[in-house]
Structure 1
């Protein structure tokens, strides 16, 4: 309930930047089998945790689990590497997939990311460089955190324990690599492998910026069954190593997020207990708040600029919440009190109360014949707010989030929700909300 929000759950003071050390923080660096090896069960933990951390985005968890079952065998071993152990001269790339969930549920898109990885590998070796040794998830989300591990299962490559977003984001420009002006080119786009010919389509482009890269990727996907693989941001371990000797690299991405996702996901899967999970979540240093509990009563989507602008309505009989999203959840609005409750870059995350099942906006009211993790209208849920990492609160990123919030609210003019004039951090909103 709303009055369950506890100000004591905030683990830092915004003005003094004092951060608590969570009792379980150490677990994000050493997880899985040991010796940096992971099993398929470990990957399922990561998928669950990444889905929760994705602020309603990152693709349907039902689709990610289907993908995982098709692409990873029970006997496969995957590998990860911590940010402070990256070898200076080894090559890194982001590899991801994008596309229509409907098409992916139909079986398209299974090879696009593997093809993008292979093409980046070939590009590097043909340029006289070493092949790829490390991959990094493009964001926290059920699908795009999974994809590097699918490649790890096939190619034996290690996945870096971190990502440039700390959550899922609506636009490629909203990541720390872009904010820190890391080299993006070349951008390699690939299609699925054609089963009859064994071939796939590819393009290698030099883009102006992250926005240009995303636009080109979307155009490419439209011509290839609404799916595409993308490989970009080639760099070396020295560019991201976060040991004490290279701490200048810490601002370039969020460290330890894969390990964080693994820990959260294991608790969800093994306990299936909503309240136990919230207690476990509070044992980490990232501040969290229970924003609302109620029943999903409605979901509405409207297209804007090729994205799904949507609104989830949740009610508990006394009060009603709107969650506005542009693929990812960006703004929580209390309709009854007429006030903001959370806004990006802080994240707005969902859990089913009966079993602590995480889910995305696209899992809500989806086709249960295709999506085994469909969340139907009438499901009782908790809405959990997570404070953004400090690195995500730069002026440039905050302005990008505000712009996306404005665009999303413009799709629902009849709601008369005012566009935020500025970003209000979650602890400040909670203080006012509960005060």
Structure 2
């Protein structure tokens, strides 16, 4: 079916991606979000406690993420995604004070595993065969595919997959782990370089998308929540935004780009993930010391990754359900101790902020992965978008953008990838 217009509920990255590609394809696009700001979990805001603009979470992308590149090119984003020239990942282990870096070579042939100076200390090249086994998923848990023990696991595979999947790697889906590795390490270092939004996520993704859409006659309406969808036969026939049902035109596509719990409330017939994992971030208003790496993996403490921004230090903990009930100041002090050890500094704790995202992502287990629906629904004018749909990837920026592309393709967007 060919559509001439589209209405999109949700202005997170998935909804913005669908809107951009549908508008580029020539459709008239209307987009609205229930929140007071666009971006969903990928947003930035001024925090008065810090006196700084911070991101809601320390999200990063990788240099080989194709949907990220397509989206930013389409909206003319110029704020940089900064990162190292090569895929170098420094680590610090608080337990023994050890420091090292995993340095992945640029090309596809993984000769970095043959160089002791590029590997996890104390490992052999043969220890990395587990990475190859992870590329051949069986549709089950990771711990059924590889033994979750040893230095390669604990000092490389586990921290990297925990960050990517936001779920304890041993219990996570081997299909999702394979997808991550296939698009990163298996393609070599040039595709695996970490990229962090500078100065912030909104500048890199959200603000230029909003400006582009407004310039195309499709500004985003905020504070407008979709309350109900009327379904008749194989079509969505009306939308209720709180002021009564509004008929859906015969040539109008509907893209539902909302969180899974909202989608299932509106469409009880669909399957969707119903278990989630949290992320906790700590932000500290202290510029990094000279020589601090932009991103540092932390082992042996509570914080897992340390990010050095020009005006602040930030840490992230994935699958952080155990931390949700902790006192915020006590947690900040634990994080600050981790930072001081990692950067070898001694300083009183500066102004701080703790951000807890209770339902940051779906749990990346095999069972939850199987609950992810496709973009198409049984209603021919109604489509789904979101990192929780079946993108083949875990809940990431790249996955969210691809889901928007998929919904746009189904709605007839000629330029949708």
Task: With the length of structure 2 as denominator, give the TM-score of the two structures.
Answer: 0.28
Query: TM-score when scaled to structure 1?
Result: 0.28
Q: Which is higher, the Rg of structure 1 or of structure 2? A: 2
Q: Name which structure has the greater RCO, CA cutoff 8 Å, separation 6+.
A: 2
